[in-house]
A and B are shown apart, each in its own frame.
Chain A
Amino acid sequence: MQTELKPSSQSSIRKIGWLGSLTESSLAGMEKRKALMGFLFVLPTMLGLLVFIIGPVVVSFILSLFQWDILSDPSFIGTKNYTRMVGDEVVLTSFRNTAVFVLMAVSLQLTLSLLLALAIQQKRMRTWARYVFRSVFFLPLLTSGATISIVLAYMFQKEFGPINYYLGLLGIPRISWLNSSQMSLITVMITYVWHQLGFTLIVFIGGLSNISKELLDAADVDGASGFPRLWFIIIPLISPTLLFAGVVGVINALQVFSEPYVMTKGGPGDSSRSVVMTIYQSAFQNLEVGYGSAIAVILFLVIMLVTAVQFYLSKRWVFYQ
């Protein structure tokens, strides 16, 4: 091995000091080899993302300008798929339902899981109790949204379901949870929140544990307690976590599918039909690939827009330490 004593620009050599200069030529070669290795290592992921994410997003936009059933030749129809949507009562209803669903589901999910996280993270809570509560609220996350919807569909059953039975004991008459157009979306929403609650709970517990102990102790010393402390100290301190949970919660809720698909098939009528159910039906059941893509493109744009608005508004209420 050739040894050279001239000073080197390689940072890794400087770090090792005089010993490194002994192996300089091999290290210089190693930098190049590392760059090549880096390219090779990211190649599979880059190719996969190009073929299965980036490419398809672009193709979705293109397909939305065509009428196509995959089997015959596609025909270009410009923006007709989009103008058709404006007059399609089923599509409009599914967007309205999804908007109502997202508002109800996300506000309920965030409120409940924040309250639960605050309760679980109290100082007086024993470690084992924290563990038990956290595990219980986590349990639904282990289930598939589709199969657990089966269980809740049985429980919400009007005549024999346990939920109406216990409400009956409280003197509440039987509610038609799944078969009335007033209730179906709410029932689906309850099921969804039940399933997703653990996710935001874990995120909030993570956020609360990140609060610096000094700040909380200072608040204790200053006598800030109860609601003022929650509102003026704890909430601002975890506001980045709230933003994150809000953004992810909205993105997920906008794509609700399994719960209405399994529990109500979108009914009665179209009262619990979600946007993704409409995409599924258009693209994969009716094989109207272009029309389905147009609806998917609009949903994608809605997701981007809502996320952007959340980040824009967050400037006013999110504080980064």
Chain B
Amino acid sequence: MAVYPGSIEEKRKRSFSTTGLTFWLSILMLIALAVIVIAPILWAFSSSFRNPSDAFKLPPEWLPLDPHFNNYARVFDFIPFGTYLLNSVFVCTAIILGQLVTATLAGYAFARLPFPGRNVLFWFILSTLMIPIQATIIPVFVLMTKLQLIDSFASLILPAIVTAFGTFLLRQYFMRIPNEFEEAAVIDGANAFQVFYKIYLPLALPGMAILIMLSFNFYWNDFYRPLIFLSSNDKYTLPLGIVSLFGSLGTNSLSVVLAGVMLALLPVFVIYLVGQRYLIEGIAMGGLKG
């Protein structure tokens, strides 16, 4: 994969020098804060393997030396975890596929297909990035109620398949690709759609990867919209399911709740390991819409 000028990979080596004392003090701060930041995740991980009756026994255990795997099995007894998992996978996949289609089309048009009013429309789309979800969610809820789509996956998917940020992101990627590719293809007899589909789309794959990573991370973890749009238990997505597990079990079965939390984190973690550079590059561009 090409390393674009200005990407994180290209810049990582740039840095600035510090004196010895500052350096060691900052190392100390980094380690202290790293311990604080990692502690809740480590604690949740090791506690998810503790015997439920010992879960709150102090001092806390930081490594699961005597792992109780049946906490994980019991998650499936208390809540239909498999159903929630499938619901989350379905909703996320549908949203991401929809976004890939709409954002590559629009991004390509804004980068490479001159048409009257293009700049105005582009600024219009960018300006919608400023609008917080709070300013739209109530009318969208009303709309979904009137369409009788409330408590369906469609109410989560439909409003999410267009993305102003994704359009902007892919426009940037299409603009980076030199004109010569198009000119060569046209001379070879390619029509306008073939130029898009066969030449430019494959070259914009890194941009699409960034969009996939950002959207997956956001919609997998989304809690607010599912809380509002879904009401029946069997339609819940994972965060909603885990919070309801927490609500019903409370502190009685801490280990089981934490096992559920860990299970929900696992897919994001695996995908992060595969494509972290895309996620980080996307976030550096400001794409984590909370």
Task: Please give the residue numbers on chain A whose beta carbons come within 8 Å of chain B beta carbons, in ascending order.
Answer: 12, 15-16, 19, 23, 27, 30-31, 33-42, 44-49, 51-57, 59-60, 63, 70, 112, 115-116, 118-125, 127, 130, 133-148, 150-152, 154-155, 157, 160, 162, 165, 194, 196-197, 199, 202-203, 205-206, 208-211, 213, 216, 220, 225-226, 234, 244, 248, 251-252, 254-255, 257-258, 262, 276, 279-280, 283-284, 289, 292-293, 296-297, 299-300, 303-304, 307
Contact = CB atoms under 8 A, between A and B. Distances in A.
A108 B201 CA distance: 42
B109 A205 contact: no
Interface in B1-42: 8, 11-12, 14-19, 22-23, 26-27, 29-30, 33-34, 36-41
A235 to B, nearest CB: 13
B60 A162 contact: yes
Contact of B132 (A45, A127, A225, A255): A255
A139 B37 contact: yes
Interface string B195-217: 01000000000000000000001
Nearest to B103: A45
Contacts of A49: 125, 128, 162, 164
B101 A138 contact: no
A213 B290 contact: no
Given A147-B261, A255-B132, A258-B224, A45 B125 contact: yes
Contacts of A202: 280, 283-284
A125 B15 contact: yes
Contact of B139 (A63, A137, A211, A255): A63
Contact of B261 (A15, A53, A148, A197): A148
Contacts of A303: 132
Given A35-B116, A147-B243, A165 B59 contact: yes
Contacts of B73: none
Given A35-B113, A42-B105, A142 B243 contact: no
Interface string B159-198: 1011110010000000000010001001100011100100
Given A15-B179, A141-B288, A52 B109 contact: no
Contacts of B125: 45-46, 49
Name, among B16, B58, B102, B137, the residue most crowded by chain A CB atoms within 10 Å (CB to CB): B16
B37 A141 contact: no
Contacts of A147: 221, 238-239, 242-243, 260-261, 264-265
Q: Which of B34, B108, B260 has the most CB of A within 10 A?
A: B34
B106 interface: yes
Contacts of A15: 179, 183
11 contacts: A31-B114, A52-B136, A52-B140, A139-B41, A140-B37, A148-B261, A155-B40, A165-B59, A194-B36, A203-B283, A300-B132
Given A147-B242, A165-B58, A44 B106 contact: yes
**How many residues of B sit at the interface, in one of the four size bands?**
35 or more
A55 B37 CA distance: 41
A63 B143 CA distance: 12
Contacts of A30: 186, 191-192
Contacts of B140: 52, 56
Interface centre among B116, B222, B238, B290 (most CB of A within 10 A): B290
Contact of A226 (B22, B27, B242): B22
A130 B157 CA distance: 38
Given A116-B30, A162-B60, A46 B101 contact: no
B38 A139 contact: yes
A122 B286 contact: no
Contacts of A41: 105-106, 108-109, 113
B23 A124 contact: yes
Given A30-B191, A49-B162, A52-B136, 4 more contacts: A15-B183, A120-B30, A150-B257, A220-B16
Contact of B284 (A44, A206, A255): A206
B86 interface: no
A293 B138 contact: yes
A146 B223 CA distance: 6
B286 A248 contact: yes
Contact of A34 (B115, B163, B222, B228): B115
Contacts of B101: 44
B40 to A, nearest CB: 5
B15 A45 contact: no
Given A41-B113, A142-B265, A150 B246 contact: yes
Contacts of B143: 51, 56
B263 to A, nearest CB: 10
A63 B142 CA distance: 10
B72 interface: no
Contacts of B269: 142
A212 to B, nearest CB: 9
B103 to A, nearest CB: 7
Contacts of B136: 52-53, 56-57, 60
A171 to B, nearest CB: 16
A55 B26 CA distance: 50
B220 interface: yes
Contact of A206 (B8, B134, B242): B8
